[in-house]
Amino acid sequence: AGLHVLAKQAGKLYFGTATDNPELTNTSYTAILNNSQMFGQITAANSMKWDATEPQQGVFTFAAGDVIANLAKQNGQLLRGHNCVWHNQLPSWVTAGNFNAAQLTQIIQTRCSTLVGHYKGQVWDVVNEPFNDDGTFRQDVFFNTLGQSYIATALNAAKAADPDAKVYINDFNIEGTGAKATSMKTLIKSLKSQGVPIEGIGLQSHFIVGEVPTTLVQNMQEFAALGVEIAITELDVRMTLPETAALLAQQKKDYETVIAACQAVPQCVGVTVWDFTDKFSWVPGTFAGQGAACPWDENFVRKPAFDGIVAGF
């Protein structure tokens, strides 16, 4: 059976993958992507980001994002919105704008409400990567201008634009317990005490072979205890190249560990891989000398990691 079918049988909402517009011309790729038994959910890897959707202030372009949204609809797959506010892939008018607090607040409100309003009925990574690895707030243009209030502004705007949207904060290196996860928990409590909508936490889960945090389940339980759901939003498990049989075997175990962790926590709703094939993985372009992070190889052949996912459910 496909991975999505296995996820559903295991009581999860979906198994999904990121995808990107240029990849859709590859018919070997789309044959797997469009199989709704394999993937019950897709996330646009790039085409709903700020630079892609509001290249000039107030000028919204949804053509590329709509291709992904329409594909999900055609395939009967859930769509995850990614993302409203993030420090990366910003148009230069945001980073160079020197906006004051009132102006930047308005800009965030306009962006979040227009984006979430355009794609109604979805789950959204409203705020992406708000923390540094030491648990301090990331000193990006939003925090530097507005302090942490930008987070509530974005969440409120998203929810107001679509009350049916589910609003998440998404980050990496919060999968295990530690300073960064603790800061995220503090933020959730603070938002909830202020009545700000926060319904889920996305654990990106860009892991390294052999280094899946041992506190994954405990940490998810701690998030769940705060009254939020959890999703594994961007799973991949990279290795230093070249790949070896031993590394691929460990990677299989690592994928199984992550799936089993989600399985162990009822509030973990589903798992998304950050693309399913090494051919289109973001890893080699970002982490020099590393790669082979996905469950399918670059020729679309299933790797041991695929069997690890199956074994985890």
Between CA 142 and CA 146 the distance in angstroms is 6
Q: Is the bond into 22 cis (omega within 30 degrees of 0)?
A: no
Nearest to 68 by CA among 89, 53, 85: 53
Catalytic: which of 175, 229, 234, 256? Answer: 234
Rounded CA separation 124/159 (Å): 10
> Among positive and negative, which fits the CA dihedral 92, 120, 201, 47?
negative
Q: 116 CB contacts (<8 Å, ≥6 apart)?
A: 81, 84, 122, 124, 126, 157, 158, 161, 162, 165
Which residues from 229-268 bind ligand XIL, rule CB under 6 A? 234
Question: Judged by CB, which is closer to ligand XIL: 56, or 88?
Answer: 88
- Centroid of chain to Cα 29: 21
Tell me, by CB under 6 A, how many residues bind ligand XIL. 6
Segment holding 296, helix H or strand E? none
The owner of tokens 């107030």 is 58
Residue nearest to ligand XIL as judged by C-beta position:
282
Least distance between ligand XIL and beta carbon 311 (Å): 26
Query: C-beta of 86: minimal distance to ligand XIL in Å?
Result: 7
Catalytic site residue from 129, 175, 229, 256? 129
Angstrom distance (rounded) from CA 121 to CA 303: 34
Please identify which residue in 204, 219, 272, 277 interacts with ligand XIL, judged by CB under 6 A: 204
CA triplet 14, 181, 49: central angle to 5 degrees? Answer: 55
Per the rule left: phi > 0, alpha: psi between -120 and 50, beta: everything else, 24 is alpha
Name residue 61's amino acid. T
Angle of CA points 128, 130, 134, to nearest 5°: 135
- Give the x/- contact pattern for ligand XIL in 115-134, rule: CB under 6 A: -------------x------
Q: Applying CB under 6 A, does 272 fall inside the site for ligand XIL?
A: no
> Which residue's CB is nearer to ligand XIL, number 140 or number 234?
234
User: Smaller CB distance to ligand XIL: residue 127 or 152?
Assistant: 127
54 is catalytic: no
Which residues within the stretch 274-303 sit at the binding site for ligand XIL (CB under 6 A)? Answer: 282
Query: Which is closer to ligand XIL, CB of 89 or CB of 244?
Result: 89
Query: Least distance (Å) from ligand XIL to the CB of residue 23?
Result: 10
Return the amino acid letter for 121.
G
How many residues are given for the chain? Answer: 313
**17 vs 113 by CB, closer to ligand XIL:** 17
Instruction: Tell which positions 159-198 bind ligand XIL, by CB under 6 A.
Output: none
- Cα-Cα-Cα-Cα dihedral sign, residues 128, 134, 139, 144: positive
String marking each residue 60-79 x if it binds ligand XIL according to CB under 6 A: --------------------
Please indicate whether residue 234 is annotated as part of the active site.
Answer: yes
The residue among 105 and 204 lying less far from ligand XIL, judged by its C-beta, is 204
- Within 28-47, which residues bind ligand XIL (CB under 6 A)? 45-46
Contacts with ligand XIL by CB under 6 A lie at 45-46, 128, 204, 234, 282
Which residues are identified as catalytic?
129, 234
